[in-house]
Chain A
Amino acid sequence: MVDTITNPSPAPAARPARAPRPGSAPAARARALIRRYRLAPYLLLLPSMVAIALVLLWPVVQVTLYSFQNYGLPQTDGAAPVQWVGLGNFTSTFADPEFWLALRITVLFAAAAVTLTLLAGTLVGLLLHQLGRVMSGIVGTAALLAWATPPVSASVLFYWLFNPDGGLVDWTLARLPHWLVGSTDWAGFNWTTGGALPAYAVVTLLVVWQGFPFIAVSVLAGLKTVPAELLEAARVDGAGAWHGFWRITFPLLKPIFLVLLLLSVIWDFNVFTQTYLLTGGLGNRDEFNLSLYLYDKAFTFPPSYGLGGALALILTVILLIITVGYVRASVRQGALT
């Protein structure tokens, strides 16, 4: 019985009209079982369920357990027993001013990055829709390249662009008139160690640069579904481009914008690679976002998997709340059919 279940046969195994192959009695019996109990779909799902359960679901369960324990190095080594500490990890997290700073940074950064990415992406999408074939191909390809650049390459590259020692941005800013760029001494200005604001200005620029192409392409795909006659009719009635966008295009694309908004919030809330590299590893505690704060608690010596678990749980709950919105928006679009 166990053997028959762990032997997933491909798709249309449940199809009738086939005599069992002679000489393979166990296989024939298995096929009959699969057909009788309609097991085929479950067998096909089995590998994916096992992989997802082991790598994605079970860790969430474990992390939840850790978050109520004093789990750390002594406990993994077996040197000290695992103790349940109730809500201890959560209360000490909420009592830590660094947590609130990280939360504030995360929320403010996500708000800025999402707004700017959506704005830039929508504008470029509208532009692509208006341009001729050659020009839209050029702009589209340029956007594709920014999108394709791996985040690690992009982060290292932006670090170099904004480097105080030989970076292009400081050099340019130092040569611009003060009335334009403020009276800061830009030559040698350190964007990484100058506090959260300059560091996250760079991260925001980077995230917008890498994120706007996806928004632009999605908006463009949506724009192509808007019937030209509708906009034409509006124009005949004397509506300008601005009016046409807000009264016709935007309402029609609203579901797409909703999904893009939720996806962007989720992505920008989670950003780790870019902040890790652009705020100097785990070196500047006043520049942690929630992800860096979590990583630091869990892996900087001495590691506290309990505190890290509590933070992972907090992060996951926040994201799940956003995800519920995403799922509802998707279901409303008929994604389950």
Chain B
Amino acid sequence: MTAPSLTSVRRPGPRTRARAARKTKAFSLNALGVLVALLTLFPIFWMISTAFKPSQEIYSLTPRLLPAHPTLGNFSAVMSGQASGIGSVWLFFRNSLLVTVSTVVLASVISLLASVAVARFRFRFRASYLIMLLIVQMIPGQALIIALFLDFNRLNLLQSLPGLVLVYAAQALPVSIWMLRNFVATVPRELEEAAAVDGAGSLRIFWRILFPLVAPGLIATSIFSFITAYNEFIVALTFLGQAHSDYTLPIYVTFFFNRGGAQWGPIMAASTLYTIPVVVFFLIVQRRMTSGLVAGAVKG
């Protein structure tokens, strides 16, 4: 056996070395990427994994990553309403869906009108209006909640879903208008003028020309108001009080969580069900949303 002499090994030329360095760099970057992705996903993975575990595995002294005997028991306990004691998860799903969809529709209509005004007309107070939106958007919910609670109590709108819709739609407006006006501004005026010359009425121009062209923007703002309404916590917590049958999903999960008794399996099943729709929604609209939200947030 001859020991390879050091000198006989061809020394890598500068080009091979550069390529090797690039390869190492790409490899370590990818490894870092995998690490970041795994760390980021882990909590969600753990929520889903717990939701499928029977209780002896949840409280076992040595936790396992994956359920050894996966079960749907936690989900059926949540769906039958037996675990929370205040009703099936579907009831709260329905409440959340009603509130969210109504908020999106109301906020979209109102913010479309306002954004047309801001993007199409030059008028007094235009700049003041825009700055007002920016400032109002920053008023914390905690600062409003006392007066809102007392007002809505007087109006008999506490413990009701319409009351929530009213608050959520108004809260979604500043950002929606702010985002939507950019989309309206990109619709060429000439299109509308041409249609007007051809004898189209203002309603027709609106529905046939402006609306289809602004639709992508409306989707972006709808996503925003959807998330605002679906996730909202403090107003629902304060307004709904003990009105169990009107609870939205976050308040239902909170109630469940506060009840104690350490029902982590059913609680994780309920949170999983609460999380799935919004996550799926995010994934579907991924590209549009990131660009839209970034445009809304970073540009203004």
Contact = CB atoms under 8 A, between A and B. Distances in A.
Contacts of A222: 298
B42 to A, nearest CB: 9
Interface residues of B, number: 108
Contacts of A156: 253-254, 257, 267-268, 271
Nearest to B122: A41
B12 interface: no
Contact of B150 (A38, A76, A138, A165): A76
A320 B135 contact: yes
- Determine the interface band of chain A, counting residues with CB < 8 A from chain B: 35 or more
A44 B30 contact: no
Contacts of A9: 202
A270 B142 contact: yes
Contacts of A127: 29, 32-33, 36
Contacts, number: 316
A108 interface: no
Interface stretch (A97-105, A110-118, A176-184, A322-330): A322-330
Interface in B190-242: 192, 196-197, 199, 201-203, 205-206, 210, 230-231, 233-234, 237-238
A13 interface: yes
Contacts of B230: 150
Main secondary structure of the interface of A (DSSP, over half): helix
Interface stretch (B3-11, B13-21, B81-89, B272-280): B272-280
Interface stretch (A80-88, A230-238, A243-251, A308-316): A308-316
Contact of B140 (A58, A149, A316): A316
B294 interface: yes
Nearest to B268: A160
B79 interface: no
A327 B135 contact: yes
B50 interface: yes
A272 B129 contact: no
Contacts of A10: 113, 116, 202-203, 206
A139 interface: yes
Interface of B: 26, 29-30, 32-34, 36-38, 40-41, 43-44, 46-47, 50, 58-59, 62-63, 109-111, 113-114, 116-118, 120-121, 123, 126-127, 129-136, 138-151, 153, 166-167, 169-171, 173-174, 177, 192, 196-197, 199, 201-203, 205-206, 210, 230-231, 233-234, 237-238, 249-250, 253-254, 257-258, 262, 264, 267-268, 271-272, 274-275, 278-279, 281-283, 286, 290-291, 293-294, 297-300
19 contacts: A11-B120, A11-B205, A17-B196, A40-B117, A44-B116, A45-B114, A48-B113, A56-B136, A62-B147, A144-B282, A145-B41, A152-B250, A156-B254, A156-B267, A157-B43, A160-B268, A166-B59, A209-B40, A330-B134
Interface of A: 8-15, 17-18, 38, 40-42, 44-45, 47-48, 51-52, 54-60, 62-63, 66, 76, 124, 127, 130-132, 135-136, 138-139, 141-154, 156-161, 163, 165-166, 168, 171, 209, 213-214, 217-218, 221-222, 256, 259-260, 263, 266, 270, 272-273, 276-277, 281, 291, 294-295, 298-299, 305, 308-309, 312-313, 315-316, 319-320, 322-323, 326-327, 330-331, 333, 335-336
